[in-house]
Structure 1
Amino acid sequence: MRASGYKTVFFDLDHTLWDFKTNSQKVLKELFTETGLYRKGLDFQEFYQVYNQINDQKWTLYRQGRIDKFRLRKERFVDTLLHFSIDERQLGEYFESQYVERSPLQTALMPGALEVLDYLFEKYQLAIITNGFASVQMTKLKSTGLEKYFTTVITSEMAGANKPEAKIFVAALKQTATKRPEAVMIGDHIDADVVGAKNAGIDQIWYNQEEIVSDCKPTYQIRELTEIIELL
């Protein structure tokens, strides 16, 4: 059944349109090799797994407002190295600076992203709602050529609130001159994107790539982005 009545489609960026996993892993492998961590007996896959766990923990704290972006960036690589008993803060800071510089320039997108955006662009106003840092997210949009599709980009820094707080969704509605029944939010994160939009009174499309089971029931659920073409 095709949905109707929407005027604006809000998208999350990382893991929804921009292939965070592929892009991040590529840059981290480059840095791992360049800094010679393998000479310290480290295995890249183990390093990558530990980093992801620590990074996810930091981002959860950031979404909850318990740490700021400066602490997130300052700690995630230092803590990863400490896990392997490498107490080299300067090396951690180098990883951070290079990662933040290089990763937004990567261009891998989620399967079907361009096809879906080409389709939606002719029918809806498109906007981004992201917890990612403004300068980084804008670079990603420019590097991939995605910026042409979006009239508005709302970041947590701009709104003064992180998803899933209702405040960031309300800011997005205001900036796009959209009423709640006229909007739908598409994202991969059940709490940040789905619960957040639901609490703000906005319909949701959960891009549930890994078929995660949740008690939260979104308005719609898809596993492939291209399903959006049949839905909207």
Structure 2
Amino acid sequence: MKAVLFDLDGTLLNRDGSVQAFIENQYDRFYNDLKHMPKETYCSRFIELDKRGYVWKDKVYQQLLSEFDLSDLQWEKMLEDYISEFKHHCVPFDGLKEMLKELKSMNLQVGMITNGYGQFQMDNIEALGIKEFFDVILVSEWEGMKKPNQEIFHRALQRMNVDPFDSVFVGDHPDNDVYAAQQAGMKAIWKIDSGWDQVDADFIVKDLSEIPKIIDSLMKEAATSKSVLHTE
């Protein structure tokens, strides 16, 4: 193993926790315009419409303002607020930095491939304080393609000068992350997500702390195979 690559949302960034923290704070900041509706109603409906990030927020805010007749607010203003303020509410999964430090100590390259808008995702990465750990970061908007397109995986590996069979991809989405990485020739680790049931990954983890252990075992397995080949 020479490289480990990651998805961002739902894998390194606790997106559910981040969205909850952001939307509660947004309600408080726009309280004068929203006070006629319960905070819980505003927050829960936003989360429903957001569909775990797979609906961009222009559509979410347009629908939200229409449903609750929030005629004094402009969806453009709410979207601008989301873009500028979300980064202040980023919640990492437990053990994130410790896991990345351990991988770097193993002399591995570390990369990231994330779907989303370029600067928005970079702001979130910097807010988590993890940018320094990554040798390459590919964001779909800037690359002109997105997962599950295998080309974005190959592009990341080319920039790292690593072959697919010497790399592992870690993600939470069965198709965009796990299956797509496997199709690109990589091993895939699925980070368990409650939104999905069974996923046909090479490895399955619940916590980030499990990842270095898996990589270490793969490295030892490769070393043993190489030793056997030399002996023969």
> What is the TM-score of this pair, normalised by structure 1?
0.83
Q: Distance in 2 between matches of 1:58 and 1:210?
A: 15
Alignment of 1:1-232 (within 5 A): 6-36=1-31, 37-40=33-36, 42-56=37-51, 59=54, 72-87=56-71, 90-123=73-106, 124-210=108-194, 212-214=196-198, 216-232=199-215
Structure 1: gaps spanning 5 or more residues: 1-5, 61-71
Q: CA deviation at 1:220?
A: 0.6
Q: CA deviation at 1:211?
A: 8.0
Q: After alignment, is 72-81 or 148-157 more displaced?
A: 72-81
SS of the equivalent of 1:154 reads strand
Q: CA deviation at 1:198?
A: 1.9
Conserved 8 A contact 2:125-2:131: yes
Closer, same or farther: CA 118–57 of 1 in aligned 2, 3 Å: closer
Q: CA deviation at 1:87?
A: 4.7
- The structure 1 segments of at least 4 consecutive aligned residues displaced by more than 3 Å after TM superposition are 85-88
Q: Which digits, 9 at most, give the CA deviation of each residue in 1:57-79, with x for residues without a partner?
A: 8726xxxxxxxxxxx34322111
Give the partner amino acid of 2:147.
Answer: K
Structure 2: gaps spanning 5 or more residues: 216-232
Q: CA deviation at 1:113?
A: 0.9
Give the partner amino acid of 1:23.
Answer: S
Q: Which has more radius of gyration? A: 2
Give the partner amino acid of 2:103.
Answer: L
Q: Distance in 1 between matches of 2:132 and 2:52?
A: 33
Closer, same or farther: CA 225–96 of 1 in aligned 2, 3 Å: same
Q: CA deviation at 1:125?
A: 0.3
Tell me how large the CA RMSD over aligned residues is.
2.1
> What is the TM-score of this pair, normalised by structure 2?
0.83
Identical-residue share of aligned pairs (%) = 23
Q: CA deviation at 1:10?
A: 0.5
Closer, same or farther: CA 76–231 of 1 in aligned 2, 3 Å: same
Closer, same or farther: CA 49–192 of 1 in aligned 2, 3 Å: farther
SS of the equivalent of 2:112 reads strand
Q: CA deviation at 1:209?
A: 4.1
Q: CA deviation at 1:43?
A: 2.6
Q: Distance in 1 between matches of 2:91 and 2:65?
A: 27
Give the partner amino acid of 2:122.
Answer: M
Aligned residue number for residue 63 of structure 1: none
SS of the equivalent of 1:164 reads coil
Q: Distance in 2 between matches of 1:83 and 1:33?
A: 20
Q: Distance in 1 between matches of 2:138 and 2:194?
A: 26
SS of the equivalent of 2:35 reads helix
Give the partner amino acid of 2:62.
Answer: V
Give the partner amino acid of 1:39.
Answer: K
Conserved 8 A contact 2:16-2:52: no
Q: After alignment, is 42-51 or 16-25 more displaced?
A: 42-51
Q: Distance in 1 between matches of 2:65 and 2:54?
A: 18
